[in-house]
Amino acid sequence: MKDTLVRPAVTENYMQGLCKAGSAVQWHPVPNSGHLLVSHDSAGAAIDWIAERFPGAPAPNDCRAN
List the one residue out of 23, 26, 32, 61 whose CA is nearest residue 46: 26
Domain map of the chain by residue range?
A: 1-66
> Residue 49: what pLDDT?
95
Q: Could you read off the pLDDT of 14-37 as tens digits, one per residue?
A: 999 999 999 999 988 888 888 899
Q: What span, in angstroms and rounded, lies between the C-alpha atoms of 53 and 38? A: 22
> Residue 1: what pLDDT?
53
The model carries a pTM of 0.74
Residue 41: which pLDDT band, with cuts at 50, 70 and 90? very high
Mean pLDDT over the full length of the chain: 90
Asked if residue 3 lies in contact with residue 35, where contact means CB atoms within 8 angstroms, the answer is yes
> Residue 6: what pLDDT?
86
6 versus 55: which is more confidently predicted? 55
